Structure formats: C-alpha cells, structure tokens
C-alpha cells in the first residue's frame, strides 16, 4: 500500500468526539494546498455511516458553502433526521472556524428486490491501453513553475486513466463528453460503507472539467475561476473500488458563470453502479501575464 493510499484511508477514519459528532483530518488526499471537494463529501458520508447500522447509502445531496482550510480539522455534526422501517435519513454539517463549509443529506435503504434496467456502458479504450495520470504529469513537469512542480508531481491515491485527455496548458475546444477509468488498489477488502466513501471521494474528480472542455479551458491554462457548488450521487450496486471503473461524464449546459455536469460510473463488466450530478462555478477572470 502506497503512502498516498494509506493517507486517504486514514482521513476517512474519523474520530468520534460524541455520539453524533466526529472530527476528520483536513489535509492530505488529492490536494496539499486546499481541501478537495470529494474529501469533504467522503468524510461527511463516513460520519453519517457512523450513525447507521445494517443499511447502505443509496443517495446523497451536498452543497459546498465555503472553501475548506487544510491547516485545521473538520468537525462533522450528524442529525438523525429519521430511522424508518425501510429508509434512514441523516443530515451532516461540516464545520471549520465555527462556520459551515458543507451540508449534506444522505439516505440509507434496506436491501430489497425489484425490477432492473440500465443504460449500456459506452465502448471506450480499455485502461491498460491508456497512460496513467502520473505519466501525463511527468511529461508536462517542465511546463510547471518551480513553485507548483512538487505538488503537481505528488503521488495521489487514485489511479486515473483519461480516455481523451486535454493538453494541460494549451487545450483546444473538445466534446463535453469525458471518459476516464479509475480505481484504488488499496480498497481491496474494505467494507461496503468504506467502498461508498472512496467512490464518493473519487466522484468529484474531473467532473467539473467536462463543462470546461467545449470552451478550450483547463485549470492550468487560467482565465477561469472554478469551484464546485453542489454534488449529488446515487449508488445503484455493490462497489469494489480496487477494480477498474469507467466514469463517463458530460456537460449538457453552461451559462451564467455556471456549468452543469453529469456522470455515470460503471464496473468494467458494464454494470451501472452509480450516477452523479454537479453544478460548478465557471467565472471568467483576467489571465495573468
């Protein structure tokens, strides 16, 4: 297990301060300079799971309210909204400096039989034929300033293989449809609840980028201020995140300095395991000379 994977598993192992009060590490994981949105979502889900027994999350809906401060822990307060015969509902508030940085509602459901159908998985290049995120970044390291190069090349916990990656610094307008494969080998043997938390963490990766692609933009190019505004996720089936999953994303709309993005996550055998939706801020800003 790599240090980056161990770090992610540790930050999802929350400290219980009281019956419904938890503390999570604010630093580490995907970013060393800020709190990655998926980090807070995953910890909030872990806090909710800390108050639920015998049921798995089927949906969550979160709002990002303030930027997170990676220099201090995050406090998670769980409200036990309802424990019903079939469904359990929790509301989680993430707090730093005495203020909310995220609030989330999550619903948990007993296992029940029912009808089944799904849309088919798109046919794309398999992960073994694609370069890793680390390989792409290493090729572009000399284009990054000395100030940011160490963080740019830092080991990260999730293995990502983009099907049609954009040039980091000179992107051209492209389809909003955006596919990637991802997995975390260290997820092998994790509980179903932890598998959900890890997938929730990873579901924030590259999603907002779908609304940048048609406009020839990336975070590295500049000229745009981006931030996730909300995040919704639905779990459809058992997760084994140590295996490859296809994340297929698109952006049906951008406008009013916002972009709307959707995602579907499939197991490698084509089973649809989760669906995601997110709106993000896309605010034009002057490019620094």
Q: Which neighbouring-strand residues pair with 246?
A: 181, 266
| d(C-alpha 192, C-alpha 240), whole Å | 8
Q: Is 176 a catalytic residue?
A: no
| d(C-alpha 92, C-alpha 107), whole Å | 11
Q: Is 159 a catalytic residue?
A: no
Residue 3 Cα distances to 26, 28, 158, 194, angstroms: 17, 11, 12, 18
| d(C-alpha 31, C-alpha 69), whole Å | 12
Q: Please pick, among 96, 107, 204, 251, the residue that the annotation labels catalytic.
A: 204
φ, ψ of residue 21 in degrees (nearest 5)? -130, 130
Q: Please pick, among 105, 228, 251, 275, the residue that the annotation labels catalytic.
A: 228
* Length of the chain as a residue count: 289
DSSP string, 55-107: -EEEEEEEEE-S---TTS-EEEEEEEEEE-SSEEEEEEEEEETTEEEEEEEEE
Residue 251 Cα distances to 67, 88, 120, 195, angstroms: 23, 32, 19, 26
| d(C-alpha 143, C-alpha 173), whole Å | 21
Residues 94, 102 contacting (CB under 8 angstroms): yes
| d(C-alpha 121, C-alpha 262), whole Å | 15
φ, ψ of residue 57 in degrees (nearest 5)? -65, 135
Q: Is 268 a catalytic residue?
A: no
Residue 51 Cα distances to 30, 85, 112, 150, angstroms: 26, 16, 21, 39
Give me the active site residues, please.
204, 228, 278
């Amino acid at each position: 297990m790599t240090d980056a994977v161990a770090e992610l598993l540790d930050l999802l192992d929350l400290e219980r301060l009281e019956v419904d009060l938890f503390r999570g590490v604010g630093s580490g994981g995907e970013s060393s300079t800020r709190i990655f949105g998926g980090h807070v979502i995953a910890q909030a889900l872990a806090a909710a799971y800390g108050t639920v027994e015998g049921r798995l999350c089927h949906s969550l809906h979160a709002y990002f309210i303030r930027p997170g401060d990676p220099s201090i822990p995050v406090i998670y307060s769980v409200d036990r909204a309802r424990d019903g015969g079939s469904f359990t509902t929790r509301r989680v508030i993430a707090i730093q400096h005495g203020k909310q940085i995220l609030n989330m509602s999550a619903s948990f459901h007993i296992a029940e039989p029912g009808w089944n159908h799904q849309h088919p998985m798109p046919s794309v290049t398999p992960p073994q034929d694609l370069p890793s995120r680390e390989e792409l970044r290493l090729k572009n390291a000399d284009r990054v300033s000395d100030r940011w190069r160490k963080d740019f090349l830092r080991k990260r916990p999730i293995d990502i293989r983009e099907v049609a990656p954009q040039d980091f610094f000179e992107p051209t307008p492209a389809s909003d449809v955006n596919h990637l494969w991802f997995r975390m080998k260290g997820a092998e043997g994790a509980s179903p609840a932890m598998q959900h938390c890890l997938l929730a963490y990873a579901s924030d990766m590259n999603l907002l980028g779908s609304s940048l692609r048609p406009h020839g933009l990336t975070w590295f190019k500049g000229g745009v201020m981006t931030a996730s505004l909300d995040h919704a996720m639905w779990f459809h089936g058992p997760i084994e995140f140590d295996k490859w999953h296809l994340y297929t994303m698109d952006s049906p709309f951008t406008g009013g300095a916002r972009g709307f993005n959707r995602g579907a996550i499939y197991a490698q055998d084509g089973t649809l395991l989760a669906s995601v939706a997110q709106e993000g801020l896309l605010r034009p800003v002057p490019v620094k000379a």
